[in-house]
Amino acid sequence: MKLLTGLAVAALSTSVALPAQAHQNESKTWHIHGASNSESTVLEFLQARGITDRGALATVMGNIKQESLFNANICEGGARVPYHRCYSGGYGLIQWTTSNRYKGLGNFATKYGGDPSTLKTQLRYMVNEGQWVGIESTLKTPGLSINTYMNACYRWLGWGIHGHRTHYANNYYHTMHNA
C-alpha cells in the first residue's frame, strides 16, 4: 500500500495519471472523514452519477468548496440569502454568476417544482447544465490526474480566481476512504 500512496502523491503533484493497476482494487464508494452533511450529500450524488475516481471526486469537491463552502444559499460575497434576494454576483453551490446561468437555476426550479435555494435542486440543475454535460465524460474517466480533472472543471465553472481549489482537491483526495 505504501507504493500506491507514493504513486497517488506523485499523481497529485504532477499531471501524471495513476497507473491503471492503482485503480483496480478501489471500491466505488468513497466517504470523507469529518464531512459536513452537504459534503456527504454532494459526494454521494456524484458517485450515483457514475463518477467513481477518487481524483475526479476530490477535484469537483474542491471546486465546490472554493465556490461556496458547500452552502447552497450563499450569494457572492458571503451573504446567506434565498435565491430571489441575491441581487448581484454569483449564487449557490457553484456561484452561478452570468445572467443565463443564474436565471437558468430559477427557471429549472420552477419547471421541476424545486427551491433554487436548496442543495437538492442545485445539484439537479448543475448536472443538467450544458457546461457540466460537456465535461461529465472526463470526470467519469478513471485514472486521470487532478490537473486534468481541474482543467475540465475550469471549462465547467469558468472561474476568475483559482484560489485554493487544488489545495482543497488534494485534501479531499487524502481524506477520502473506501466504505
CB 142 within 8 A of CB 110: no
What's the CATH architecture for 2-178?
Orthogonal Bundle (1.10)
* Nearest residue to 31 via CA among 5, 54, 62, 9: 54
Query: Nearest to residue 34, comparing CAs of 179, 178, 172?
Result: 172
Does 56 or 19 have the greater pLDDT score?
56
Task: Give the mean pLDDT of the chain.
Answer: 88
Average pLDDT over residues 4-29: 44
3-class SS of residue 25: coil
Residue 25 — very low, low, confident or very high, per pLDDT cuts 50/70/90?
A: very low
Burial of 173 (0-12, 13-18, 19+ CB in 10 A): buried
Write out the three cell numbers for 101.
446561468
For residue 28, the model assigns a pLDDT of: 73
Average confidence (pLDDT) over 113-130: 98
Q: Report the pLDDT value the prediction gives residue 16, as an integer from 0 to 100.
A: 40
The 10s digit of each residue's pLDDT in 69-82 is 999 999 999 999 99
Domain spans in the chain, listed from the N-terminal domain onward: 2-178
For the chain, count helices (H), then strands (E): 9, 2
Q: Is the pTM of this model over 0.95?
A: no
Measured CA to CA, the distance from residue 117 to residue 134 in angstroms comes to: 24
118, pLDDT greater than 50? yes
Q: Report pLDDT for 30.
A: 98
* pLDDT at site 47: 98
- Average pLDDT rounded to a whole number, residues 151-173: 96
* Residue 120 clears pLDDT 80, i.e. is over it: yes
Based on the number of CB atoms within 10 Å of its own CB, is 72 exposed (0-12), middle (13-18) or buried (19 or more)? Answer: buried
User: Residues 12-24: pLDDT tens digits?
Assistant: 333 444 444 344 4
Distance, in Å, from the CA atom of 179 to the CA atom of 84, rounded to the nearest integer, reads: 39
